[in-house]
A = this chain, B = another copy of it.
Amino acid sequence: MAQQHRGEETRNRILDAAQECFARDGYDVAGIAEICQAAGVSKGAFYHHFASKQALFLELLQRWLSALDTQLRTALAQEPSVPDALRAMAVTGRQVFQVADGRLPLFLEFWNKAGHDSEIWQATISPYRQYRGFFAQVIAQGIAQGTLRPVDPETAAMAVVSLAVGLIVQGVLDPEGADWGEALSASVTILLEGLAQE
């Protein structure tokens, strides 16, 4: 029983170490040995918990996605007006930039690998489509409320998601180049200017 607890903890140590190594070196370059050393476990322990490097990666991915999902939903639930909700999400996003800190490159890693590996692709694409649908729904709701202009919700959702994705990529590429959390807020503001009913 105490065994199981210890196992769980080891598992988490590996997960954390992997997150760091993947973010720093990239999925392909980071080696199992490196991850194990960072986690302070042996390779045997690693393969006791994970079937393969890819399985570990997938698990990391799903961690991220579920966290993101709950964040977005709570932001929506708490604000009655849709523009306010979107601004709230932007604020949430700022935290993402700060919290994810060194972990931000993982996004690029995920997206990149999704293009080369069908299993990762499936795990990435389905929640991603979900997000797009989520924003489309939010925007449609805003139009119904009369707080947003009558644009095509799908298209607008794409724009929103693109903005977020693009900022993440820039944030990874050039972390010192700007305050990306701030940029997110500002960009959303501009976008809302284009979307909101005057």
Q: Is A7 an interface residue (CB 8 A)?
A: no
Are B172 and A169 in touch, CB under 8 angstroms? no
List residues 146-198 of chain A with CB under 8 A from any CB of chain B.
149, 151-152, 154-156, 158-159, 161-167, 169-170, 172-174, 177-178, 183, 186-187, 190-195
The reply to whether B173 and A158 form a contact with Cβ atoms under 8 Å apart is: no
Contacts of A194 in B (CB 8 A): 190-195
CA distance A192 to B191 in the complex (A): 9
The residue in chain B whose Cβ has the minimal distance to the Cβ of A196 is: B194
CB-contact partner of A159 in B24, B114, B129, B186, under 8 A: B186
Complex: chain B residue closest to A165, CB-CB? B166
A107 CA to B91 CA in the complex, in Å? 28
**Are B109 and A105 in contact (CB-based, < 8 A)?**
no
Q: A45 to chain B: closest CB distance in Å? A: 15
Contact yes or no, B187 A159, CB < 8 A: yes
> For the complex, is A112 an interface residue (Cβ under 8 Å from B)?
yes
B113 touches A174 (CB 8 A): no
Contact check, A116 vs B24: say whether CB atoms are below 8 A apart.
yes
* Complex contact B25–A116 (CB within 8 A): yes
How far apart are A36's CB and chain B's nearest CB, in angstroms?
14
A165 to B166, CA, bound (A): 5
Residue contact A155 to B183, C-beta cutoff 8 Å: yes
Q: Are B112 and A156 in contact (CB under 8 A)?
A: no
CA distance A81 to B50 in the complex (A): 58
Contacts of A116 in B (CB 8 A): 24-26, 29, 105
